[in-house]
Amino acid sequence: MSKKSSHVSATPATDWLRAQGIPFTEHPYEYVEHGGTAESSRQLGVDEHAVVKTLVMQDEDAKPLVVLMHGDRQVSLKELARQIPCKKVEPCKPEVAQRHSGYQVGGTSPFGLRKAMPVYVQASVLALPRICINGGRRGFLVGIDPRVLTDALGAKAVGCASPQ
């Protein structure tokens, strides 16, 4: 456990990271409703491009999937559908996303999900030296090596980013 005074209590995400032996740093911040990655990156003093958002989506059969995207980019749903491949991808409604992930929207982490879901990561995220990603609660990011996403989580790299 971290000995920092800003230690945040364990979440399913941090429990999963610890169980896998993955080192991470804790980055709590003041959660702002609808502030998104712009707000967290501002408060933490990190580039929004290195803050990765966790998005719960679904395909045309309502099967859930997770997309990990740069904070300053959007997901091209058409391009994602082409690459994974399926006919259509759309965001889940917040209550559906929460039911699938086990996390409150705004605090969704790809680690320690309630349900096993395929995870896709924007390929350019993997080129960053370090990323901040949700640690399983609103107002809490963890800093990790992006290779954790493919090596430990099994995320598949895709190219589906579009400007915000």
Q: What is the DSSP string of 68-111?
A: EEETTEEE-HHHHHHHTT-S-EEEPPHHHHHHHHSS-TTS--SS
For residues 1-23, give the mean pLDDT: 79
Strands 119-122 and 156-158: parallel
* Alpha-carbon distances of 159 from 7, 60, 79, rounded to whole Å: 35, 20, 8
Listed residue (48, 9, 15, 8) closest to 29, CA to CA: 8
Per-residue model confidence (pLDDT) at position 5: 43
* 65 half-sphere exposure, CB direction, 13 A CA radius: 24
Considering Cα of 144, then 51, then 27, then 105, what sign does the dihedral take? negative
Please give the helix or strand (H or E) that residue 151 lies within, else none.
Answer: helix 147-151
Count CB neighbours of 44 within 10 A: 16
pLDDT digits (tens, 9 = 90+) for 78-112: 999 999 999 999 999 999 999 999 999 999 999 99
Would you place residue 163 in the very low, low, confident or very high pLDDT band (cuts 50, 70, 90)?
A: confident
* Tens-digit pLDDT profile for residues 22-77: 999 999 999 999 999 999 999 999 999 999 999 999 999 999 999 999 999 999 99
Task: Give 149-161 pLDDT, tens digit per residue.
Answer: 999 999 999 999 9
User: Contact, 52 vs 132, CB < 8 A?
Assistant: yes
pLDDT digits (tens, 9 = 90+) for 122-158: 999 999 999 999 999 999 999 999 999 999 999 999 9
